[in-house]
Structure 1
Amino acid sequence: MDLEILHDYLVESKDLLQGAQEQTLRLETEPANDEAIASIFRAFHTIKGGAGFLEASHLVDWAHNLENLLDKLRSHSLPITSARIDAILKGIDVIEAMFQQLAEEKPPDPGPADLSRTIQDLAGIGNADAEHCDDPIASVTAPEKAPDNDEAAAQAATPSAPRVAETIENSLRVDANRLDAVLNQVGELVLLRNRLTSAVMQLGKESESMTRIAREVDLSVSDLQGTVMRLRMQPCRRLFQQLPRVVRDISRQLRKEVRLEIVGEDVEIDKTVVDALSGPMTHLVRNSLDHGIEMPEVRTAANKPATAVLRIAALHLGDRVRIEVSDDGKGIDRCAVTQKAIERGIITPEQAAGLSEQEALELIFRPGFSTKEQASDLSGRGVGMDVVKESTTRLRGRLSIDTQLGRGTRVAMEFPLSLAVLTVLYLRVRQDIYALPISAIDSLTDLDEGRVHRLAGRVTYRVDGTETVPLVDLGAILQNRPLRLGTESVEGVLTERGLFVVSEVLGNEDSVVKPIDFLTGRNLYQGATISGGGNVVLILDAGALSAASPASAEGVF
């Protein structure tokens, strides 16, 4: 088996199979959509042809059976029913498993025989039509001319075919590792640009020509950086494409009525985010269906529509992308969450007493937390939401949750458009220089001693008339020596995790994050970078700093 041909076949066929699944789900609401039927037929026809070339006989048989069923639906010889939709979707699952076996360079297994017979029966080819026929002979159609493969494909062609061919001609598949290598080289170029700019600035007015050259290099590197980063951008459609199937299967299993709305499929984000969020998005959807959305009779009794709405959206927010999963279900009871966390030993009653409303909600992201008394195949094992939190943090994102009892819940994740280059703010803590991602920062502020308070055993800072946030002293955490307000020069950096107290804010710069391999386990750093001055600077993790902040911060008084 030629591995290069196999790789190309799998890449193309997986795209075709995903498209077939999307169109099959579309048929449930648009059974008269002939274009969707033709698209599914073409997908199975193409998959079968490639499988035959690879001598994957069992895959050929499955694609052929599904092709036969689609051919009958396409010619309107058979009606589109729920049973036939189910059979096509289950057949797609089998083919997907066969693709995985091929990827492992193994010949595909025969697949479940009972499902194969069901598909043939539903196509009117087996012993009996599984839905309508009592007479086995009546279910066998007249020996019409079996469609030749090439003829069938030609019949299924649509006016969009030339556009598809043109798109394929103008596209080029590139191995992701090669893109990563180019991106790494551009990252090194960004660091060199920063150092060049810093060196030229130190020359002052002595060399105007060098200043002009440095400015031109800066513009060229910025353009190159933007172009290369766009190569890794992918539409959120890839992230959302599996969710309609998840919603369909789970809502039917739970006997709940759910309408799925997807917004922003064309919004683009870094490929790393798309690849990493497939599992977390499924967890969020399952959690909403199982925990958030009520049974139809419960919704009706509460004067709500029997059909719930589950909304998945992606939208641009400047240099960030926000992904939301929201429902109009029953919402989250903060008191119930806190009580369950105490029962499971995740927090103590004393810790619970000091939690804010938002901190109480965030308990659902703790490992081992679940409000279910008994585990099921959908939930109750205390895994899922913690995976969402961990993945968001690893991708340098921000996670938030909003809820209203009886109205619903919204979980939002924000990510930088690209993970290749990170814009950081340089900070000074006494003589040491650190960096903090700009994405973690809300604003900068001067510190006022009169706004420092102690609340429930914690030192907090009143940002304005309504918002009070934890005070995080970086001197105490990083140097074991608190910064002293009034006797030392200090500034405040407001983040989603609290107000960070530093000696001085120095300025921002694009950086490339390098991992710190010698630090094992949890630590206070996201990585390291090289500043424009050529010095190694540690990049701080805002979440880890907040968690490491001592309850008392006597140094600020």
Structure 2
Amino acid sequence: MSFDVDEDILQDFLIEAGEILELLSEQLVQLENDPENRDLLNAIFRGFHTVKGGAGFLSLTELVDTCHGAENVFDTLRNGQRSVSAELMDVILQSLDTINAQFAQVQAREEPIPATPELLQTLTALSRPESEDEAPIAAPAAAEKSTKVEGDGGVDEITEDEFESLLDELHGNKKATAAPAPKPAASDDDITDDEFEALLDEIHGGGKAPQKAQQETPKAPAKPAASGNDKAKGDEISDDEFESLLDDLHGKGKFEAKQPAPAAEQTAAAKAPAPAASSAGKAPAKPTAPAAETTVRVDTKRLDDIMNMVGELVLVRNRLLSLDSKQDIDDEELSKTIANLDVVTGDLQGAVMKTRMQPVKKVFGRFPRVVRDLARTLKKEISLELEGEETDLDKNLVEALADPLVHLVRNAVDHGIETPDVREKNGKPRVGNVKLAASQEGDHILLTITDDGAGMDAEKLKSIAISKGILDEDSAARMSDEEAYNLIFAAGFSTKVEISDVSGRGVGMDVVKTKINQLNGSVKIDSELGRGTILQIKLPLTLAILPTLMVLVAKQTFALPLAQVSEIIGLDQELINTVDGQRTMIVREKAIPLFYLEHWLRRGADRKQRPTVGHVVVVQLGTQQVGFVVDGLIGQEEVVIKPLDRLLQGTPGMAGATITSDGGIALILDTPNLLKHYARR
């Protein structure tokens, strides 16, 4: 392929094909579970066909060949000459993987690597009727050659004679075109006049009578102008109809002609057999005008730029509100203006945030394939249930969540769900259930992964942690069941005895926890032995605007993410003790570690001098609680996160910076990272 094509055309193909390929993965798994679903079968066929057409336009021959092989298989399935089976779906999913790999290479502006000859031969064999499977399979399939395109590598190309012939067919002048242009050589792909008539009937809902009426009209031109300027209104066809007719010229019309029309068209088609004379005086119905485009594609960088400008506006709004509250302004008009700016800024901020939102289905769509493949590998029977797919989430969060959720779902399938025989012995259905749900709760989103598997044994988890040196026996004895469940997020922890390609290396779950913490989220696990496990992930809807608690430490302002703040209490020296060298404070009859932020934030601070007055901000990290001692509280504030300067990038415990309502600069604390480095020191 030459990448000298118009960049806009290439980008349109990448966006459209990317959406189709993403959807195909989910549709193929649905088809395996519902093989009689004709609408789904047709949708998958159209998906492969559309990607093939775009790839052909860009001369991506390797991608065209793979799509063409899969498309031929689905043409055979639509004809009823072959049935859907797990083995067939294995091959189709393998071909989809190859297409995705080729597509990724095109995205990287690299030449796509051709599919393996074995895969193409298998697709060719599957494109033949099932009754012929017992016969020896020839390497090159004649059917595949017959639908190969003519010309320089484009697909669906036709000659001028074929185009003229096609227009004659549309306008009822088939007789005037005595010799249609030659089509690809294989006679198996030719369609008869009757089949073509049936196809037009299907498209136009009983178009035979109008066509005959046109043939009897003396003034009907022998051939319409190729430009289409003089066409009758009733003879106009849409792009989809034209593409369908092009397919017929290249040998894909047989099945289309035989398929039943949709319900609305069947009603019209039922009237088609009426005598020609009865409809001779009627003009063809005027086609409905296409609906106006209601969506527009916008580069995400533009959205980010707009979001940054809105962020600056939010900061100005906060500044004005702060001035209004601190100073007694007698000017009523100025106060009203500030209040109006507050409302407008809030509405604009919400509207811009919505443009960045995407349904969580973008993430959920990959899991039917993940669960299907993993279940076949592990010889388990599993059904996947998806709920709340339309819940909106910030685009950046959607992308960041993909890998952590894959880890968690794979963990539920591998560790949670038992084999069918074991489930049957325990009085459970042979088919296990995994449910993935999403819902919005205020300014947060709640993701839930539920399975009805074996559940987790808290005592077993503790013993494994002790054997791996993650815990000592005293700590394990004091640990609650919920805290024991969270041991699965410890680095190097695994309950698998044998290492496999699926799991057992103790890598993955600790990465999941770290990633969710970086997104200012939290994870909660609840499990019951023998009944199953529920894992909940709570995340902010967006990362662009962050609700924070502004605090003072050594006369400097810092921001703590409000989502992690559990409560704020006064510093009480009588409740403070030292346990194993660690300062702790009794909060609600539980000792929590106490950290003095001034010791960490100020180099050379005397650790022996500890403030006797101040506040303790209790922060919740998973099941753990810690207390940060601060000098003073400023209040809650929505801030816009700004990246740190290059000199400060990578500073431990710092997530970014923001401009406060009084015009100053505050550093935003990265609590999990801060604790890690505090513990090392």
After TM superposition, is the score higher than 0.5? Answer: yes
Task: Give the CA deviation at 1:64.
Answer: 1.6
Residues 496-553 of structure 1 deviation map (CA, whole Å, 9 limit, x = unaligned): 43344434332111101123343465722322211111111122233345556779xx
Quick one: structure 1 residues 149 and 55, their matched pair in 2 at CA, closer, same or farther if it must change by over 3 Å? Answer: same
Of residues 81, 85, 95 in structure 1, which corresponds to 2:89? 85
Please tell me whether the aligned partners of residues 428 and 504 of structure 1 are also in contact (alpha carbons under 8 angstroms). yes
- 1:59 is matched with 63
**Deviation, structure 1 residue 185:** 1.6
Cross-structure match for 2:420 = 296
> Are 2:653 and 1:534 equivalent residues in the alignment?
no
The verdict on how the C-alpha distance between 1:449 and 1:298 changes in structure 2, with shifts beyond 3 A counting, is: farther
Matches within 5 A, 1:72-151: 72-124=76-128, 129=130, 133-136=133-136, 143=188, 145=190, 149-151=246-248
Output the TM-score relative to the length of structure 1: 0.87
1:431 Cα offset (Å): 3.1
Quickly say closer, same or farther: Cα 1:72–1:483, change in 2 above 3 A: farther
Deviations 1:27-65 (A, max 9, x none): 122111111011011111111111111111122122122
Letter in 2 for 1:272: N
What SS does structure 2 have at the residue aligned with 1:306? Answer: coil
Verify: 1:488 aligned to 2:613, yes or no: yes
Deviation for aligned residue 1:459? 5.5
SS of the counterpart of 1:537? strand
Instruction: Identify which of 560, 563, 566 aligns with 1:436.
Output: 560
- Say whether 1:217 aligns with 2:341: yes
User: Which position in structure 2 is the counterpart of 1:323?
Assistant: 447
1:506 to 634, 639, 642: 634
Q: Distance in 2 between matches of 1:432 and 1:190?
A: 22
> 2:35 matched to 1:31?
yes
Q: Say which SS state the counterpart of residue 382 (structure 1) adopts.
A: coil
Q: How much has 1:450 moved relative to structure 2?
A: 6.7
Contact 1:475 1:482 (C-alpha < 8 Å) held by counterparts? no
Name the CA distance, whole Å, in 1 between partners of 2:97 and 2:439: 31
Q: Which has the higher contact order (CA 8 A, sep 6+)?
A: 1
- Per-residue Cα deviation, 1:208-260 (whole angstroms, up to 9, x for no partner): 33222221222111111111111110001001111100000001100111111
Equivalent positions of 1:381-530 (< 5 A) are 381-429=505-553, 431-446=555-570, 461=585, 463-464=587-588, 469-475=592-598, 477-478=600-601, 487-490=612-615, 492-493=617-618, 495-496=620-621, 497-516=625-644, 517-519=646-648, 523-530=652-659
CA distance in 2, matches of 1:482, 1:150: 82
Summarize the Cα distance change of 1:461–1:46 in structure 2 as closer, same or farther, 3 Å threshold.
same
Match of 2:46 among 39, 42, 46: 42
Q: Do 1:293 and 1:330's aligned partners in 2 also have CA atoms closer than 8 Å?
A: yes
Q: Distance in 1 between matches of 2:263 and 2:647?
A: 58
2: CA distance, partners of 1:363 / 1:537: 35
Aligned to 2:295: 171
Equivalent of residue 190 in structure 1, options 314, 338, 341: 314
* TM-score, normalization by structure 2: 0.72
Q: Which runs of 5 or more structure 1 residues have no equivalent in the other structure?
A: 552-557
The structure-2 alpha-carbon separation of the partners of 1:115 and 1:489, relative to structure 1 and needing over 3 Å to count, comes to closer
Pairing of 1:278-357 with structure 2 (within 5 A):
278-347=402-471, 352=476, 355-357=479-481
Aligned to 1:371: 495
Secondary structure of the corresponding residue to residue 135 of structure 2: coil
The answer on whether the counterparts of 2:357 and 2:395 sit within 8 Å (CA) in structure 1 is yes
Q: Which amino acid aligns with 1:488?
A: V
- Cα distance in 2 between the residues matched to 1:491 and 1:137: 76
Deviations 1:445-499 (A, max 9, x none): 456667667778766555547x6654444455546558978x5243554534334
How many Å apart are 1:304 and its aligned residue? Answer: 2.3
Distance 1:455 1:360 in 2: 22
Alignment partners' CA distance in 2, 1:333 and 1:137: 53
| Secondary structure of residue in 2 paired with 1:205 | coil
**d(CA) in 2 for partners of 1:114 and 1:137?**
12
* Deviation string, structure 1 residues 132-165 (Cα, Å, up to 9, x no partner): 63234999999253786444598799789999x7
Paired residues of 1:428 and 1:434 also in contact (CA < 8 A): yes
For the residue of structure 2 that corresponds to 1:329, the secondary structure is coil
Q: Is the 8 A contact 1:483 1:490 kept in 2?
A: no
**Change beyond 3 A, Cα 1:429–1:272:** same
Report the counterpart of residue 74 of structure 2 in structure 1.
Answer: 70
Contact 2:548 2:636 in 1 (8 A): yes
Q: Residues 529 and 226 from structure 1, CA distance in 2 versus in 1: closer, same or farther, beyond 3 angstroms?
A: same
* Equivalent-residue separation in structure 2 for 1:498 and 1:444 (angstroms): 11
What is the one-letter code of the residue matched to 2:433?
V
Shift of 1:274: 0.7
Select between 92-101 and 246-255 the one with higher mean Cα deviation: 92-101
Instruction: State the AA in 1 paired with 2:525.
Output: I
Change (3 A) 1:409 1:36: same
Query: Residue 443 of structure 1 contacts residue 495 of structure 1 at CA under 8 Å; is this kept in 2?
Result: no
Unaligned runs of 5+ in 2: 144-186, 192-243, 266-286
Distance in 2 (alpha carbons) for counterparts of 1:310 and 1:468: 37
Contact 1:310 1:328 in 2 (8 A): yes
Q: Is the 8 A contact 1:473 1:483 kept in 2?
A: no
Change (3 A) 1:160 1:535: farther
Aligned position for 1:19: 23
SS at match of 1:206: coil
The percentage of aligned residue pairs carrying the same residue is 39
- Partners in 2 of 1:21 and 1:483 — Cα distance? 61
- Aligned position for 2:215: none
Q: Give the count of matched residue pairs.
A: 544
Q: Retained in 2: the 8 A contact 1:447–1:492?
A: no
Using a 3 Å threshold, how does the CA distance of structure 1 residues 408 and 53 change in structure 2: closer, same or farther? Answer: same
| Mapped contact 1:233–1:269 kept (Cα < 8 A) | yes
CA contact (8 A) 2:571 2:613 kept: no
Give the CA deviation at 1:79.
2.0
- The one-letter amino acid paired with 1:332 is M
